[in-house]
């Protein structure tokens, strides 16, 4: 990243954000209430160790929850992912940072390490090693990551945290009750309050973020601070959970992992490029610094840092659409078509005998398919296609249609209008939950059933036929062929079994999210009943991977500016209450359907589609998910790998 461009973006964002008013300094910890609302700083550190900073960049404040990804990564380094994740999950919750209400069903784990409950469980795993006590190890970690000689605990803040931390005490005792907290409750709480009270500056945070950006190596000192694999996991969870119930919106708009603290600090990580940090004490209603969020979004936009940006591609009448980016071309040469073909065959052989999951039964037509079917297809951004197994067997898209219909609705109305009807956030709920965001009475995101019904209500047309034809034409552009049709038998079965979705539609109408529940619901049933194959679904995904241009036909299916938004929401919400685990395991945007269809996208490279009817409890093809995990691991193409 060019230092001059970074400094210019920093300066512009600083001047624009400092004009903002509003927000409230955190006061539930008395010492934090003493912070000046006027304080504001921005800082950045490049992967070469070059620093740029503005405003109160040397002012020290307590790190608070920005400590969480670093402590989580240290626990991973100490114990390994399997041991850590016996005590804490990887799923977004849709809840506030200090929620005590929900634990994962069946496991009693806190949902993720970025909320207080999960962070307390993780902190309990930091033990004495090499003669160093837990607190010394944490302070040393922060010092190494920031490039400082020493980091100190702010004693007044620690004492204030300890005196006012009744909610965290309740959380800790609950974690101990369920066996998720290792060791003594009071020892853990003391350590947790101390880690949150460590003093840092905005400059320090920028270097700490750059250490994550640089795969765990501090770019200023050159010292390895954390293992690369631990950093990969931390970045995944920062993207999906780091800003709590604002994580989805920031991923949608800025597209980079971030972590906030109630001190008013936020770090953001542009992987391989730079670490960013901002500090401003007034917080928004969700506990994140108002000015800091604004500034970081602007910097990401100015510098094109969004993780889901695909390379710009030009429509071509030749049937191919060559990439503009030479760097991407080199990457594709290293993943040859022959290698992909051999790997796909190998994965298919490995996973075709996999057991587990059940064929969806609540729609009668879906229950009639053979559980032994298993197809895999890849389509690259250059239009190369590879298939194996039952890749030509037709199935219906079901919820795998949602991101594409969402893209069509975005194209028709734009971001602001569409998202006045549907949110950006993962909810932590199953795909068919009859739950709306209690703050807004909107669906949490466009990829749940409720959100997809809302999107269908916004497809333009003078009547039912025109709206359906618009959706079919749009899906056909994604697929690069005009053979997509509605399976009438499945549609009739959808209608017959659709009472739950009818209830969702009525609820949406009650809150004025949709104007005509019957029209929206019918189009939703129709899009779910569109028949496709693995090969076609891979093409549809490859169109997103190629920035909205179908790689086989060379036709534009979606404006490139909307593609990153679709991919961000697929990464955050595409597998519903299994999205976090899939992001953790596989690391690519994906969307599932209960028919057993699954599509995953590697932006700028290729898409993979799977079809295997047995699905897990969260509605995702068991064989398909395992196949995608095998593929991304073999090729090293996960988002933060």
Query: Cα–Cα distance between 435 and 513 in angstroms, integer?
Result: 13
Query: Cα–Cα distance between 417 and 435 in angstroms, integer?
Result: 22
Query: Cα–Cα distance between 508 and 148 in angstroms, integer?
Result: 53
Handedness of CA 248, 249, 250, 253 (dihedral sign): positive
563 among known catalytic residues: no
**Count of CB atoms within 10 A of residue 16's CB?**
13
Query: Cα–Cα distance between 207 and 216 in angstroms, integer?
Result: 11
Residue 290 corresponds to which tokens in the numbers above? 């108002």
Q: Catalytic residue among 68, 176, 259, 553, which?
A: 68
Q: Cα–Cα distances in Å, from 35 out to 59, 194, 219?
A: 11, 19, 31
**Count of CB atoms within 10 A of residue 616's CB?**
15
Instruction: Give residues with Cβ within 8 angstroms of 322, minimum separation 6.
Output: 313, 314, 316, 382
Longest distance between any two alpha carbons in the chain, whole Å? 74
DSSP states of 548-576 = SB-TTT--B-S-HHHHHHHHHHHHHHTTG
- For the CA atoms of the chain, what is the radius of gyration? 24
524 among known catalytic residues: no
Residue 289 corresponds to which tokens in the numbers above? 């610094």
486 among known catalytic residues: no
Tokens 């010492």 sit on residue: 31
Handedness of CA 271, 112, 419, 14 (dihedral sign): negative
637 CA to centre of own chain? 16
Q: Residue by residue, what is the 3-state secondary structure of 599-618? A: EEEECCCEEEEEECCEECCC
Q: Catalytic residue among 158, 244, 524, 571, which?
A: 244
244 among known catalytic residues: yes
User: How many residues appear in the chain?
Assistant: 641
Strands (E), 420-579: 485-486, 530-532
Residue 17 corresponds to which tokens in the numbers above? 């954000």
608 CA to centre of own chain? 19
Q: Catalytic residue among 39, 47, 65, 289, which?
A: 65
Q: Catalytic residue among 71, 157, 262, 556, which?
A: 262
124 among known catalytic residues: no
Instruction: Give residues with Cβ within 8 angstroms of 119, minimum separation 6.
Output: 65, 68, 71, 72, 113, 192
Q: Residue by residue, what is the 3-state secondary structure of 92-160? A: CCCCCCCCCCCCCCCCCCCCCCCCHHHHHHHHCCCCCECCECHHHHHHHHHHHHHCCCCCCECHHHHHH
Query: Cα–Cα distance between 109 and 599 in angstroms, integer?
Result: 29
Q: Identify which of 588, 595, 577, 493 has the alpha carbon closest to the alpha carbon of residue 534.
A: 595
CB 226 within 8 A of CB 178: no
**∠ at Cα 342 (337, 344), nearest 5°?**
90
Active-site positions? 65, 68, 192, 244, 262
């Amino acid at each position: 990243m060019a230092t001059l461009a970074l400094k210019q973006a920093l300066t512009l964002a600083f001047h624009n954000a400092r004009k903002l008013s509003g927000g409230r300094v955190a006061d539930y910890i008395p010492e934090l209430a003493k912070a000046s609302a006027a304080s504001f700083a921005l800082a950045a550190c490049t992967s070469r160790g070059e620093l740029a900073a503005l405003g109160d960049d040397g002012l020290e404040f307590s790190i608070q929850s920005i400590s969480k990804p670093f402590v989580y990564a240290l626990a991973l380094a100490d114990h390994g992912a399997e041991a850590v994740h016996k005590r804490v999950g990887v799923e977004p919750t849709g809840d506030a940072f200090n929620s005590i209400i929900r634990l994962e069903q069946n496991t009693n784990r806190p949902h993720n390490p970025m909320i207080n409950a999960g962070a307390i469980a993780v902190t309990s795993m930091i033990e004495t090693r090499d003669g160093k006590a837990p607190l010394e190890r944490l302070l040393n970690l922060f010092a190494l990551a920031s490039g400082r000689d020493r980091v100190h605990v702010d004693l007044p803040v620690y004492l204030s945290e300890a005196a006012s931390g009744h909610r965290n005490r309740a959380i800790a005792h609950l974690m101990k009750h369920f066996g998720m907290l290792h060791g003594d409750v009071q020892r853990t709480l003391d350590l947790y309050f101390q880690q949150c009270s460590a003093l840092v500056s905005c400059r320090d945070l920028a270097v700490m973020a750059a250490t994550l950006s640089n795969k765990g190596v501090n770019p200023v000192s050159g010292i390895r601070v954390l293992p690369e694999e631990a950093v990969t996991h931390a970045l995944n969870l920062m993207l999906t959970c780091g800003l709590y119930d604002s994580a989805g919106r920031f991923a949608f708009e800025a597209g980079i992992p971030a972590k906030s603290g109630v001190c008013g600090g936020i770090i953001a990580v542009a992987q391989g490029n730079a670490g960013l940090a901002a500090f401003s004490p007034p917080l928004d209603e969700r506990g994140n610094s108002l000015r800091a969020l604004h500034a970081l979004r602007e910097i990401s936009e100015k510098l094109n840092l969004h993780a889901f940006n695909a390379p710009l591609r030009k429509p071509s009448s030749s049937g191919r659409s060559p990439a503009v980016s030479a760097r991407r071309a080199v990457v594709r040469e290293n993943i040859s078509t022959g290698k992909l073909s051999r790997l796909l065959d190998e994965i298919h052989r490995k996973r075709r005998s996999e057991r587990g999951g059940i064929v969806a039964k609540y729609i009668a037509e879906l229950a009639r398919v053979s559980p032994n079917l298993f197809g895999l297809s890849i389509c690259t951004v250059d239009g190369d296609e590879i298939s194996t197994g039952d890749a030509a067997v037709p199935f219906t898209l079901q919820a795998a249609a949602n991101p594409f219909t969402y893209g069509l609705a975005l194209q028709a109305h734009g971001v602001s209008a569409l998202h006045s009807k549907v949110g950006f956030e993962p909810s932590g709920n199953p795909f068919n939950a009859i739950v709306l965001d209690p703050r807004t009475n909107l669906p949490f995101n466009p990829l749940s059933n409720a959100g997809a019904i809302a999107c269908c209500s916004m497809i333009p047309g003078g009547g039912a036929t025109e709206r359906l034809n618009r959706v079919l034409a749009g899906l056909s552009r994604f697929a690069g062929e005009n053979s997509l049709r509605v399976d009438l038998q499945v549609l009739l079965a959808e209608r017959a079994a659709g009472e739950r979705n009818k209830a969702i539609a009525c609820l949406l109408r009650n809150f004025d999210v949709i104007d005509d529940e019957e029209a929206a619901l019918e189009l939703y049933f129709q899009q779910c009943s569109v028949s496709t194959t693995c090969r076609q679904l891979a093409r549809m995904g490859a169109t997103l991977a190629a920035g909205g241009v179908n790689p086989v036909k060379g036709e534009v299916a979606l404006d490139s500016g909307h593609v990153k938004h679709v991919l961000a929401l697929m990464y955050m919400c595409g597998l519903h209450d299994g999205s976090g685990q899939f992001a953790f395991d596989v690391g690519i945007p994906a969307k599932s359907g209960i028919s057993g269809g699954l599509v995953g996208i590697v932006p700028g490279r290729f898409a993979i589609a799977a079809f295997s009817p047995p699905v897990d409890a969260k509605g995702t093809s068991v064989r398909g998910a395992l196949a995608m995990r095998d593929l991304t691991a073999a090729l090293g193409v996960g988002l933060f790998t």
